[in-house]
Chains A and B, each alone.
Chain A
Amino acid sequence: DGGITQSPKYLFRKEGQNVTLSCEQNLNHDAMYWYRQDPGQGLRLIYYSQIVNDFQKGDIAEGYSVSREKKESFPLTVTSAQKNPTAFYLCASSIDNDRRETQYFGPGTRLLVL
Chain B
Amino acid sequence: GQSLEQPSEVTAVEGAIVQINCTYQTSGFYGLSWYQQHDGGAPTFLSYNALDGLEETGRFSSFLSRSDSYGYLLLQELQMKDSASYFCAVRDSGYSTLTFGKGTMLLVSP
At the interface, yes or no: A74 with Cβ under 8 Å from chain B? no
Q: Are A43 and B43 touching (Cβ within 8 A)?
A: yes
A-B CB pair tally, cutoff 8 Å: 60
Q: Are B100 and A43 touching (Cβ within 8 A)?
A: yes
At the interface, yes or no: A100 with Cβ under 8 Å from chain B? yes
CA–CA, A106 and B43, complex, Å: 8
| Residue numbers in A under 8 Å from B31 (CB-CB) | 99-101
User: Closest approach, in angstroms, between the C-beta of B62 and any C-beta of chain A?
Assistant: 12
User: Closest approach, in angstroms, between the C-beta of B51 and any C-beta of chain A?
Assistant: 11
At the interface, yes or no: B71 with Cβ under 8 Å from chain A? no
B contact residues, total (Cβ < 8 Å): 24
| Residue numbers in B under 8 Å from A33 (CB-CB) | 97
Q: Are A96 and B48 touching (Cβ within 8 A)?
A: no
At the interface, yes or no: B58 with Cβ under 8 Å from chain A? no
CA–CA, A14 and B42, complex, Å: 26
Q: Are B42 and A108 touching (Cβ within 8 A)?
A: yes
Q: Are A101 and B48 touching (Cβ within 8 A)?
A: yes
| Residue numbers in B under 8 Å from A106 (CB-CB) | 42
Which 7 A/B pairs are nearest by Cβ-Cβ distance? Answer: A105-B42, A42-B100, A100-B48, A42-B102, A43-B100, A102-B45, A105-B43
What residues of chain A have their CB less than 8 Å away from a CB belonging to chain B?
A: 31, 33, 35, 40-45, 48, 50, 58, 88, 90, 92, 96, 99-108
14 contacts between A and B (CB under 8 A): A33-B97, A35-B100, A40-B8, A42-B4, A43-B43, A43-B87, A48-B97, A90-B43, A92-B43, A99-B31, A100-B33, A101-B31, A101-B33, A104-B45
